[in-house]
Structure 1
Amino acid sequence: MTDEITMDKAYCTRNVREVLLCPDAVGALLKYNEATGELFWRKRTAGDFRGRSTRGPQHRCNNWNSRNAGRNAFTSRSSGGYLIGSIFKRNYMAHRVAWAVSHGRWPDGDIDHINGCRADNRMVNLREVSRSVNNKNSRLRDDNKTGVVGVHWHEGRMKWRAHISTGDGIVWLGSYEDFNDAVNARQRAEAMNGYHPNHGRVTLNEDNEVK
């Protein structure tokens, strides 16, 4: 996508380190389908382009529209599994762009993918949360050996141990002969500390299949 667009005043500064396109400007460039989570490039007009070519803004406009208008946007995938794209050489996360277009503002905190599929940007799967709340709806780590977050085997004690992270740090929940007792202790603690029911789920791919 060309960056020769006349939107010099369309940026808003959130803090010293973050300068973003204003949500209205993003909405003028992209259409968001809340039901499917897809983003599409909108059609441009010649007034959106600077005349730095001998062929003029209209030629640039026609060329851009023929290649991009109406087509899916933000289809690249980050190493972490999120859909990403760029606008005027600035990189953006698709889920944050979707939120900005839908709500008319950039999210103040994190955007959590409720079902754990990071490419599923349907509005029903997105929620604005703080970082601490987002961490309470995390997928199961690839290096987890028990299949349950916060439960591990202690060789020295020859028992299953359970723990949980709270605002005050790590809280140990006891040692158990039976694995299920340790799991139950962890689940009770999650409920008491506001963890999402999906926390610790198995990682899903874009087709909702187990990786």
Structure 2
Amino acid sequence: MSNQLRGQRPTVETLKELLDYEPETGILTWKERPCRYFKTNGAWKRWNSRYAEKPAGSKNSSGYIQLCLPGCRPLAHVVIWVIQTGKWPEHQVDHVNHKRDDNRWLNLRATTPAENMKNLGRQANRKSGVAGVYYDKSLKKWRVWISEEGRNRYIGSFDTEEEAIRKRKAFEAALGYHPNHGTDTANGEEPLYNGRTEIWFD
């Protein structure tokens, strides 16, 4: 989904009325909800007694925190972007360190789908663990490819895995790949947050 939202898009004002956000921890908290959102006073009191001032959302099957709002079920990191910037992202919101439930503000950035593909985690299904680096048994060499403007580009073949990975990383840097691309930050490898621009909305 281009805006990572299920259902009707709420306004910025509605989101700020319903939720509090702590940028340093990434936690969204339910505010006390006005009675106009409920059909009866009893339902209003029960909801606030159970949820007000408590963490909002739960982890879905894909590992993202998902919210249940009136008329929609948006992903928490997208809602956070709206609360912080005052506008819905044009495309996607990326988790810089690949941890889908880490919604701290320094870990979120707006991206296009193509940019998002330049910040993928380590690929366990590759012998080298690095995207675009393959061992060719017939040649007994390591071959290197990279995606550039939607097309696979062949870089070359190398005698050692280390040399192939070094060449791949050099091309990633030249083509604007994120420094965390191909790293295992979701399992403890230290992420990089360089280049992050803080955007605030009052």
Please say whether Structure 1 and Structure 2 have the same fold, judged by a TM-score greater than 0.5.
yes
Letter of the 1:176 counterpart: F
Q: Cα 1:160–1:209, aligned 2, differ >3 Å: closer, same or farther?
A: closer
Report whether the alignment pairs 1:69 with 2:52.
yes
Structure 1 position 19, deviation (Å): 2.9
* Aligned position for 2:197: none
Structure 2 runs not aligned, ≥5 long: 191-202
Given the superposition, is the C-alpha separation of residues 193 and 108 from structure 1 closer, same or farther in structure 2, using an over 3 Å criterion? same
In the TM superposition, residue 26 of structure 1 has moved relative to its aligned partner by 1.3
Which residue, out of 92, 111, 127, partners 2:93?
Answer: 111
CA deviations on 1:93-112 (whole Å, 9 max, x unpaired) are 11001111122221112111
Percentage identity across aligned positions? 35
The structure 1 segments of at least 4 consecutive aligned residues displaced by more than 6 Å after TM superposition are none
Q: Counterparts of 2:29 and 2:75 in 1: how far apart (Å)?
A: 14
Pairing partner for 2:37 from 38, 48, 54: 48
Distance in structure 2 (CA, Å) of the matches to 1:197 and 1:132: 15
Alignment-derived partner of residue 38 in structure 1: 27
SS of 1:61 mapped into structure 2: helix
Letter in 1 for 2:128: T
Structure 1 residues 200 and 177: CA distance shift in structure 2, 3 A: same
Q: Find 2:141's aligned residue among 139, 155, 159.
A: 159
Q: Structure 2: how far apart are the matches of 1:159 and 1:126?
A: 38
Q: Which has the higher contact order (CA 8 A, sep 6+)?
A: 2
Letter in 1 for 2:116: N
Equivalent pairs counted in the alignment come to 186
Q: Give 3-state SS (helix, strand or coil) of 1:173's partner.
A: strand
Pick aligned residue for 1:94 from 64, 76, 81: 76
1:36 match: secondary structure: coil
CA displacement, residues 76-105 of structure 1 (integer Å, 9 cap, x when unaligned): 222322111211252211100111112222
Q: TM (normalized to structure 1)? A: 0.81
Q: 1:90 to 1:129 in 2, by over 3 A?
A: same
Quick check: which one's strand share is greater?
1
Determine which of 94, 113, 124 is the counterpart of 1:131. 113
1:63: how far off? Answer: 1.0
Counterpart of 2:169 in structure 1 is 187
Deviation at 1:45, TM superposition (A): 2.9
CA–CA separation in structure 1 for the residues paired with 2:170 and 2:36: 60
Higher Cα Rg, which structure: 1
> Which is further off, 153-162 or 102-111?
102-111
For normalisation by structure 2, the TM-score amounts to: 0.85
Residue identity matched to 2:183: R
